[in-house]
Amino acid sequence: MGIGAIAKPAFVTAQFGILRLTRAGRNEVRAVYGGFGVFMALALLAALRQPELREGILYTVCLALCGMAAGRLASALIDRAIDRAPLGYFGLEIVVAVMLLAVA
């Protein structure tokens, strides 16, 4: 998703019903979904190559995923509903966070 968000930000937001983006909106998607995601992936690759950093990296990425999941949960509770795409990402975030925690 990170690379896709940098290349085609509107493709990412269309999943959530946001079909048009301003220049500032594209910048935000490229930063948060793109740059952040790409660098989280690079951090996980670094964890494979630098064992002394592994545990810290795994916990950090786990916490980032938990933060996103918590934000989705808060939004669902406030709105009293959650759409399919955010629910799918919520599940993915929880599963990957648990996996990272298990191997940290």
Residue 8: pLDDT band with limits 50, 70, 90: very high
pLDDT, the chain, mean: 97
Give CA–CA dist 40/26, Å, rounded: 20
Q: What is the DSSP letter of 17?
A: T
Q: How far apart are the first and last CA of the chain?
A: 24
User: Which pair of tokens denotes residue 17?
Assistant: 């019903």
Give the start-to-end residue ranges of the domains of the chain. 1-49, 51-104
Helix intervals (H) in the chain: 2-7, 9-14, 23-29, 36-49, 51-79, 84-103
For the entire predicted model, the pTM comes to: 0.92
Give the tens place of pLDDT for each residue, 46-92. 999 999 999 999 999 999 999 999 999 999 999 999 999 999 999 99
Residue 104: pLDDT band with limits 50, 70, 90: very high
